[in-house]
Amino acid sequence: MTSDPQDPDLVRLLEYLRESRGFDFSGYKRTTLLRRIGKRMAQAGIQDFAAYLDHLQVHPQEFPALFNTVLINVTRYFRDAAAWEYLRQEIIPRIVAGKERYEPIRVWSAGVASGEEAYSAAILLCEALGVSEYRDRVKIYATDVDEEALTQARQGRGQAKDLEEVPEALRDRYFEREGNQYTFRNELRRSVIFGRHDLVQDAPISRIDLLICRNTLMYFEAETQAKILVRLHYALNDQGFLFLGKAEMLLSRDDLFTPLDLKQRVFSKIPRVGLRDRLVVLAQASGLEPGDRAASTARLREIMSDALPVAYLVVDSGGVITVMNERTRILFGLVPNDLGRPIQDLEISYRPTDLRSMIDQAVHERRPVEARDVVRHLPNGESQYFHVIVAPLLDRDGAQLGASISFADVTSTNVLQRELERSRQELETASEELHSTNEELETTNEELQSTVEELETTNEELQSSNEELETMNEELESTNTELQAINTELQQRSIQLDQINAFMQQIMANFEMGVAVLDKELRVQFWNRKDLWGVRAGETVGHALLDLDIGLPVAELVEPIQKALNGPDGNVSLSLRATNRRGKRFICRVQCTAMASAEGAPSVIVMMEALAPTRGD
């Protein structure tokens, strides 16, 4: 993005905003404008004005975001408390005293943003008049160019922190509270009329007693400020007051308003007819008196006239010079003999300004005519400046006697005034820039504060998650320790079991009997010896007893085993004919004993013992 205020792309963008949305930013201070638009563009991730214009054309929802950034809405209740206190003590009583009890009081808060300024004025007027008179007489017009700000303003709502500058007693009297939320009292809010009004483009509201236009003018270039001030001047009653912001000095139009208290930025209107009236009175006071005068009076007048600090001459109704003071003679090179000559014969009648037409106009309109900053170029190249006033001289009966002409040399004051004016303008611009930058900083600060608040919240959340994690970690650690202890115990038990198992295996290996353990489905769980039947544990474990071909009629064991499992004493003994692994037949004594396994499932121990060989074998 360029920082050139005349960048043609920026100019095109501003034109587009005016044509499409009616917002005319051309009179706003370019540096501030550039900064604010730049800020919004950066937020939207756009580098240059042309691309931003395209973006606006495709995304109309971008307009409010842009206007919100450009139109800085910073405001507060009783912002600059000392100035509002001055208003309360000095100005409002004067407005009230200057009116009859039934007369309306009209206030205009222009550039009201979110409304706090208008409600502050309402509070002061209500305090001065009482609720009932306030409701009957007061109208507060609260306007802004920013519709979104006005929507917020109409609600008259604020958080406790927004009302910090409202004294507690006033807060209780003028606001209704709901938790942390305060709302300006409804019946008083009705006297505040909100509406969109553009100070640059719209006609002013009229007959205003108090015009509050604070921290708004400073966003405009001097030329636009001057135009707005003419409108504000028109808006005010002749006895009206103008209340500006802390950084606004009104230097561009000090002929329209005069400061009542410059520090508090309160001004009164200068009614426009005043100056002319005063000049008429002046001119008549210095006019000719009818009748003859004593010589001493004539001499006195001559001396007095020579002593005047201005060049001064008088012409009679025929245009003949009748009075001319010394200063006129010196300045314009006239001689005593020029007295009694028609002015039109002399150079002074047309140089440095056309006196003849000024005399004609003053005589014809019967009022003083003035020309400011009339320049006279001297042969040495220097210039002189004069304030020329031509006033008609009227006799008591109103008859025209002639005209007086005065030349006040304003060269030195002019130079000083110009310099002063320039310095004052520069000072004002600098002060306004400082103030508006300050407002921008306040906005940025608010944004930063909310980011910090968000970060703090996130941080708190992270801390509490961290604490939870730490607790979980501690729990896991203690569970882990417990598990390790259990594991060690299990390992010990497993070793013990292995030992017991080995011990049992050894016992079983030395057992003369064949021992098999079956589950309730008669599947072999344990098998101790191979000698009797010639099969090893590996060939029997997991197989059904009925499937084993071991020389024992296993099918005959089914019933005794079921009896052992289901019978009352769990023990059944029987003898069966069997054949051993060498093919010898013998009587095998079998004992079936039911038992419950560790898991509670029934199983049966079958013990087989070879008795006597069968006869005939």
Which residue, 199 or 266, has its beta carbon nearer to ligand SAM? 199
* Residue located via tokens 């306030």: 134
Q: Closest distance between ligand SAM and the C-beta of residue 202, in Å?
A: 8
Q: Closest distance between ligand SAM and the C-beta of residue 373, in Å?
A: 32
Using CB under 6 A, which of 129, 145, 235, 588 touches ligand SAM? Answer: 145
Which residue, 149 or 358, has its beta carbon nearer to ligand SAM? 149
What CA–CA distance (Å, rounded) separates 332 from 346?
A: 10
Among the listed ranges 214-222, 344-352, 586-594, 595-603, the one in contact with ligand SAM (CB under 6 A) is: 214-222
Determine if 215 is a binding residue for ligand SAM (CB under 6 A).
yes
C-alpha of 217 from chain center: 20
Alpha-carbon Rg for the chain, nearest whole angstrom, is 56
Q: Closest distance between ligand SAM and the C-beta of residue 119, in Å?
A: 11
Determine if 75 is a binding residue for ligand SAM (CB under 6 A).
yes
Using CB under 6 A, which of 147, 172, 198, 365 touches ligand SAM? Answer: 198
Using CB under 6 A, which of 51, 74, 310, 544 touches ligand SAM? Answer: 74
Determine if 79 is a binding residue for ligand SAM (CB under 6 A).
yes
Using CB under 6 A, which of 113, 208, 247, 311 touches ligand SAM? Answer: 113
Among the listed ranges 65-73, 172-180, 296-304, 391-399, the one in contact with ligand SAM (CB under 6 A) is: 65-73
Please count the residues of this chain forming the interface with ligand SAM, following the rule CB under 6 A. 23
Determine if 514 is a binding residue for ligand SAM (CB under 6 A).
no
* 241-300 binders of ligand SAM (CB under 6 A): 245
Determine if 240 is a binding residue for ligand SAM (CB under 6 A).
no
Among the listed ranges 106-114, 164-172, 562-570, 599-607, the one in contact with ligand SAM (CB under 6 A) is: 106-114
Report yes or no: 434 and 442 within 8 Å, Cβ to Cβ. Answer: no
Q: What token pair was written down for 109?
A: 């808060």
Q: Is 158 helix (H, G, I), strand (E, B) or coil?
A: strand
Which residue, 27 or 560, has its beta carbon nearer to ligand SAM? 27
Please give the full DSSP string across 424-445, using - where no structure is assigned.
HHHHHHHHHHHHHHHHHHHHHH
Among the listed ranges 143-151, 342-350, 365-373, 510-518, the one in contact with ligand SAM (CB under 6 A) is: 143-151
Closest CA to 323 of 334, 311, 315: 315
Q: Closest distance between ligand SAM and the C-beta of residue 212, in Å?
A: 7
- Close Cβ partners of 344 (under 8 Å, ≥ 6 residues apart): 319, 356
Determine if 33 is a binding residue for ligand SAM (CB under 6 A).
no
Q: Give me the amino acid identity at 256.
A: L
What CA–CA distance (Å, rounded) separates 327 from 441?
A: 58
Nearest-10 crossing angle of helices 49-58, 30-44: 60
Using CB under 6 A, which of 10, 14, 71, 535 touches ligand SAM? Answer: 71
Q: SS3 string of 345-410?
A: HCHHHCCCCCHHHHHHHHHHHCCCEEEEEEEEECCCCCEEEEEEEEEEEECCCCCEEEEEEEEEEC
* Residue located via tokens 């052992």: 564
Q: Closest distance between ligand SAM and the C-beta of residue 148, in Å?
A: 9
- Close Cβ partners of 46 (under 8 Å, ≥ 6 residues apart): 52, 55
Determine if 432 is a binding residue for ligand SAM (CB under 6 A).
no
Using CB under 6 A, which of 38, 111, 115, 156 touches ligand SAM? Answer: 111
Torsion-angle region of 265 (φ positive above 0: left; ψ -120 to 50: alpha; else: beta): left
* Residue located via tokens 């519709």: 147
> Hey, which bits of 51-147 come out as E strands?
105-110, 138-144
Q: What token pair was written down for 71?
A: 């139109």
Among the listed ranges 107-115, 336-344, 396-404, 406-414, the one in contact with ligand SAM (CB under 6 A) is: 107-115
Q: Closest distance between ligand SAM and the C-beta of residue 472, in Å?
A: 52
Using CB under 6 A, which of 131, 200, 320, 587 touches ligand SAM? Answer: 200
- CB atoms under 10 Å from CB of 578, counted, come to 23
Determine if 72 is a binding residue for ligand SAM (CB under 6 A).
yes
Determine if 316 is a binding residue for ligand SAM (CB under 6 A).
no
Among the listed ranges 69-77, 166-174, 299-307, 338-346, the one in contact with ligand SAM (CB under 6 A) is: 69-77
Q: Closest distance between ligand SAM and the C-beta of residue 55, in Å?
A: 22
Q: What is the DSSP letter of 337?
A: G
What CA–CA distance (Å, rounded) separates 571 from 563?
A: 8
In a 10 Å sphere around its CB, with 0-12 CB exposed, 13-18 middle and 19+ buried, how is residue 14 labelled? buried
Report yes or no: 405 and 314 within 8 Å, Cβ to Cβ. Answer: yes
CA angle 206, 268, 368 (to 5 degrees): 90
Report yes or no: 225 and 252 within 8 Å, Cβ to Cβ. Answer: yes
Q: Closest distance between ligand SAM and the C-beta of residue 25, in Å?
A: 8
Q: Closest distance between ligand SAM and the C-beta of residue 91, in Å?
A: 17
Using CB under 6 A, which of 107, 126, 149, 153 touches ligand SAM? Answer: 149
Q: Closest distance between ligand SAM and the C-beta of residue 237, in Å?
A: 21
Binding region for ligand SAM (CB under 6 A): 71-75, 79, 111-113, 117, 144-146, 149, 198-200, 214-216, 219, 245, 439
